[in-house]
Structure 1
Amino acid sequence: MKLVFATNNKNKIKEVQALMPEGVQLLSLEEIGCNEDIPETSPTIEGNAIQKAEYVKEKYGYDCFADDTGLEVEALDGAPGVYSARYAGEEKSSEANIEKLLKELQEKEDRSARFKTVIALYLNDELHTFTGICSGKIIFERKGLQGFGYDPVFQPEGKSATFAEMSLQEKSQISHRARATCKLIDFLATFEG
């Protein structure tokens, strides 16, 4: 089975392909010739995932899944949320996003946060969604060099390391994306058609 994963983020593709069952081959947007920016104009994480999957299905005809992920910080009323990638501006700089987040949390005692991933799958013209959540907290300074995005400042519940201090294998066992992807994989494994 060939499925398009509607992303050009090579880190994400590597992370998700490692979890896929044999026989499921992921194609990136680049591999299907989709080089334009897919609109992400929904006010929700789920809405953006659905919008991206629909766009690829309608324009390119491939069965496809898309994900959208946001970091939701309790003390910031769920921000940055759907704006996580461009929290500090349109250039989508992880460094600037982390800087802004740490600055906004300086005076806050509650540092609890969660990563939320929603995967929208278009398969045989049917839409399915899968949600994964990883709760934790935002630490006071960056730690670790692995991962991407907010990984250096996010410490999952029950762990003493940040995502950026974990190997891909360790992170893949507990991450929000892994949890949503496992639901997707379970669904694909039972799917006949």
Structure 2
Amino acid sequence: MKLKKVLLATTNAGKVKEMKRLLGFYGIDAEVPDEDLRIEEGSSSFLENAYLKAQAYWERYRKPTLADDSGLVVPALGGYPGIFSSRFYSHEYGGKEEVIATKDDANIRKVLRLMKEVKDRRATFVAFLVLNLGYSGYWSKGECNGVILTEPKGSGGFGYDPIFQPEGSEKSMAELTPEEKDLLSHRGKAVRNLMSIIKNGGLT
């Protein structure tokens, strides 16, 4: 069996754009669902949350489904935002942040506020992918180490990209070209790892 098309278990525009680009490199067409199922991510791990998304969208559409759960892990903040990355602005930890422009902006402002006097600025972007085929499945992980900047830089990417500088780079994630980001990013690494795994499983 050759994997030619997958349904993305997300309607997040940033993730969709990246996944379409990353999967397209392998000749896989990424389909976007026509509804957001709004899965309750009650788990304590990225992997379990990705599994919950993949399972829910599989049950709804009955198509090969690829789910991503990812986020920013900052040791100086006790591992936060972590699995709460997309909604960190509303989390009790560190106090809630008002949404003035966008949720991404509120998340960034909160992290910068909490990191204002912190010297240890290490951070890691983490991504877990789960591919649900109904009869079987695969999962993979990707990580990108770096540091939290003191102010946003760049207009590319999405999420925390403007305040994250990957290890070995002098640019923020938001200043990288799509090609540069795919090479370094947690999601790019997770996709490449997944392709290697499913190739060994006879799907590509």
TM-score, reference length from structure 2:
0.87
Match of 1:27 in 2: 31
- 1:137 paired residue among 144, 147, 151: 147
1:117 counterpart = 2:149: no
Match of 1:60 in 2: 61
> How many residue pairs align between the two structures?
190
Alignment of 1:1-12 (within 5 A): 1-12=4-15
Q: Secondary structure at the match of 1:87?
A: helix
Measure, in 2, the Cα distance between the counterparts of 1:133 and 1:166. Answer: 17
Per mean C-alpha deviation after superposition, the further-off stretch among 18-27 and 70-79 is 18-27
> How many angstroms does 1:124 deviate by?
4.3
Measure, in 2, the Cα distance between the counterparts of 1:144 and 1:25. Answer: 29
Measure, in 2, the Cα distance between the counterparts of 1:86 and 1:112. Answer: 21
Taking only aligned residues, the RMSD between alpha carbons, in angstroms, comes to 1.7
Measure, in 1, the Cα distance between the counterparts of 2:85 and 2:47. Answer: 14
Measure, in 2, the Cα distance between the counterparts of 1:62 and 1:75. Answer: 41
Spell out, residue by residue over 1:135-191, the C-alpha distance to the aligned partner (whole angstroms, 9 max, x if none).
000010011111110000000001110001111111011100000011122234444
TM-score, reference length from structure 1:
0.91
Q: Secondary structure at the match of 1:7?
A: coil
1:36 counterpart = 2:37: yes
Unaligned runs of 5+ in 1: none
Measure, in 2, the Cα distance between the counterparts of 1:168 and 1:61. Answer: 31
Measure, in 2, the Cα distance between the counterparts of 1:155 and 1:133. Answer: 13
Measure, in 2, the Cα distance between the counterparts of 1:108 and 1:26. Answer: 40
Q: Secondary structure at the match of 1:85?
A: helix
Task: Give the % identical residues.
Answer: 37
Unaligned runs of 5+ in 2: 92-98
